């Protein structure tokens, strides 16, 4: 870390981790409600818990991406951030907006919230991930504009690197792709187009570019491999993402009332979407093999190497399994989709967020790496969370297959609730791995409190005396 203003990233990272804990608590409650339909009812109905779980996910990931931008852009541009003060104000505004949103979900019935916040004037509420009331959505746009202004001005006054161009460019894309959230016509076919442009445009387009830029940055820093080599990889990954992802969005138009040619276009192009994820794996491991130094932060290296593998499994493999039109005919909207959603979001975006936090936090706390004791806690957290997420994914995949066979493809289809009952064992397994995921998260968080100066100083002394 070379610039004072990079410090503004710290509150973003800390808040991201706090909100992550909240997300998982709601996940556990939602999982229990699958097992006991009246658990915490009517205080916390399932829809409210679900909405809180998914919205907290998006908010903590955005917090982490924003922190990453404030950390990386000045470093790459070799200059101080244009306005650290604005970045801090933006942080508090965003945190307050996130808190108000979740509290309003918890304490105000959703229809009443919609009536209170002007949804009748400009309807935007109700679609998954985009449930926020109108004033909050406007607030999100203002926060994004403030971030964009700050990092773009920094980019303009400093050194211009490819990593910075891709990062700042994809943050612009992130903000622009939020705008279809304000397009919610009565016609449900048209409305679902607008919804997919945000959700798919983010996770299978723009955020993949952010992922590439963040991974590229930390690998340059940790391996010492030439920037030119890494940048070439990132360009190819960006190109493949855009080629496959833009038309690949057609995999959401199959049986929705959109023109029938999307069955072909969506199937063919989305089948190419795993390619950029494969390239990410090849790129990271090649870079690791060519490394010029042993970076002392082993935990950050573990996150950086784990991310492309888990992203490929969750997005590439689990996405591919449900993407062809004839498969989706049977599997659409089952727990197979939720299996894919969990592994993809965790493997790609939660893990890259944790990778950059792992790399940057010790630097923000004035040391190159945490003590080995702390790193061991962190790496244990990595393994427990990662294997638990694989367990959650397999359980949901099982539940999805039960639905496909008993309800969708059966000669004599069973009713929805009967099928849910048949899949019950998988919901138990999901909850078991959910609890172990939570344990893994606590172990991970413990590493922050372990990073005592005392151990660190001792280890350095030992290393020096060798
Ligand atoms: C970083 C970790 C996690 C991520 C990224 C994540 C992500 C998601 C996403 C994207 C959805 C929406 C799925 C969809 O609509 O298809 C969801 C729903 C859900 N998640 Fe998680 N989740 C995580 C952890 C957990 C944990 C630990 C549990 C606990 C058991 C859990 C339980 C649930 C439940 C029960 C739902 C509702 C599924 C439904 O609508 O039927 N999640 N999660
Ligand atoms: C990291 C990247 C990705 C993330 C985070 C992600 C996440 C998600 C989530 C959360 C959903 C459920 C949306 C909902 O209905 O609530 C979904 C649906 C879907 N995803 Fe992905 N996805 C990613 C990449 C991919 C890729 C690369 C493919 C194809 C190869 C793919 C194929 C699909 C399909 C076909 C659906 C719709 C399933 C259905 O109709 O039920 N996804 N994705
Ligand atoms: Fe998609």
The string of pLDDT tens digits covering residues 108-142 is: 999 999 999 999 999 999 999 999 999 999 999 99
pLDDT tens by residue, 357-389: 999 999 999 889 999 999 999 999 999 999 999
Which of 57, 64, 357, 382 is the pocket-test mutation for ligand 1 (most atoms within 8 Å of CB)?
A: 57
- Å from CA of 300 to ligand 2 middle: 27
Token output for 429: 């397994």
Give the per-residue pLDDT at 466.
Answer: 57
Name residues of the chain where pLDDT drops below 50.
none
- Å from CA of 341 to ligand 2 middle: 6
pLDDT tens by residue, 408-456: 999 999 999 999 999 999 999 999 999 999 999 999 999 999 755 555 6
Under DSSP, is residue 69 helix (H, G, I), strand (E, B) or coil?
helix
In this structure, the residues whose C-beta lies within 6 A of any atom of ligand 2 are 128, 203-204, 251, 270, 273-274, 311, 315-316, 319-320, 322-323, 328, 332-333, 337, 340-341, 344-345, 348
C-alpha distance from residue 54 to each of 30, 121, 129, 179, 458 (Å)? 11, 26, 6, 19, 43
- Å from CA of 245 to ligand 3 middle: 8
Residue 242 Cα to chain centre, angstroms = 18
Q: Which residues of 30-57 are buried (b: 16+ CB within 10 A; e: fewer)?
A: bbbbbeeeeeeeeebeeebbbbbbbbbb
- Å from CA of 229 to ligand 1 middle: 37
Give the per-residue pLDDT at 451.
Answer: 54
- Å from CA of 412 to ligand 3 middle: 31
Give the per-residue pLDDT at 227.
Answer: 95
Give the per-residue pLDDT at 454.
Answer: 53
The answer to whether the CB of 362 falls within 8 A of the CB of 451 is yes
Give the per-residue pLDDT at 450.
Answer: 75
Cis bond leading into 93, ω under 30°? no
DSSP state of 340: H
With a 6 Å cutoff on the Cβ, whether 431 touches ligand 1 is yes
Give the per-residue pLDDT at 1.
Answer: 82
Q: How far is Cα 27 from Cα 444, in angstroms, rounded to an integer?
A: 18
């Amino acid at each position: 870390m070379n610039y004072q203003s990079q410090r503004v990233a710290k509150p973003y990272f800390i808040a991201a981790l706090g909100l992550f804990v909240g997300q998982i608590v709601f996940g556990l409650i939602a999982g229990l409600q699958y097992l006991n339909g009246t658990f915490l009812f009517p205080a916390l109905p399932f829809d409210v818990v679900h909405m809180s779980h998914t919205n907290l996910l998006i908010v903590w990931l955005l917090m982490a991406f924003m922190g990453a931008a404030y950390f990386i852009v000045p470093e790459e541009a070799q200059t101080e951030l244009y306005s650290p003060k604005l970045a801090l104000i933006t942080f508090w505004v965003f945190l307050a907006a996130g808190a108000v949103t979740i509290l309003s979900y918890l304490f105000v019935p959703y229809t009443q919230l919609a009536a209170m916040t002007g949804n009748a004037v400009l309807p935007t509420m109700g679609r998954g991930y985009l449930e926020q009331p109108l004033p909050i959505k406007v607030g999100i746009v203002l926060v994004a504009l403030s971030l964009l202004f700050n990092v773009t001005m920094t980019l303009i006054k400093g050194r211009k690197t490819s990593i910075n161009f891709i990062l700042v460019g994809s943050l612009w894309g992130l903000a622009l792709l939020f705008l279809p959230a304000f397009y919610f016509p009565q016609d449900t076919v048209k409305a679902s187009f607008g919804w997919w442009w945000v959700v798919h445009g983010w996770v299978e387009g723009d955020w993949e570019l952010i992922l590439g830029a963040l991974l590229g940055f930390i690998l340059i820093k940790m391996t010492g491999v030439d920037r030119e080599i890494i940048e070439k990889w990132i360009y190819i990954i960006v190109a493949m993402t855009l080629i496959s992802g833009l038309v690949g969005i057609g995999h959401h138009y199959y049986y929705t009332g959109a023109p029938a040619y999307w069955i072909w276009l969506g199937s063919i192009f989305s089948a190419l979407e795993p390619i950029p994820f494969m390239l990410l794996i090849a790129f990271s491991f090649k870079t690791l093999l060519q490394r010029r130094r042993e970076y002392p932060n082993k935990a950050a290296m573990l996150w950086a190497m784990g991310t492309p593998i888990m992203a490929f499994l969750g997005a590439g493999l689990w996405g591919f399994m449900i993407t062809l039109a004839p498969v989706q005919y049977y599997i659409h909207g089952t727990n197979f989709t939720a299996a894919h959603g969990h592994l993809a979001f965790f493997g790609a975006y939660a893990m890259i967020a944790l990778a950059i936090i792992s790399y940057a936090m010790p630097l923000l706390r004035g040391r190159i790496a945490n003590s080995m004791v702390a790193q061991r806690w962190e790496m244990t957290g990595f393994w427990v969370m990662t294997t638990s997420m694989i367990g959650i994914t397999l359980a949901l995949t099982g539940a999805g297959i039960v639905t496909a066979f008993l309800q969708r493809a059966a000669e004599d289809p069973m009713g929805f609730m009967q099928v849910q009952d048949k899949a019950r064992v998988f919901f138990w397994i999901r909850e078991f791995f959910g609890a172990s995921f939570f344990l893994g998260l606590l172990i991970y968080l413990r590493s922050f409190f372990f990073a005592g100066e005392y151990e660190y100083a001792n280890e350095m002394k030992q290393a020096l005396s060798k």
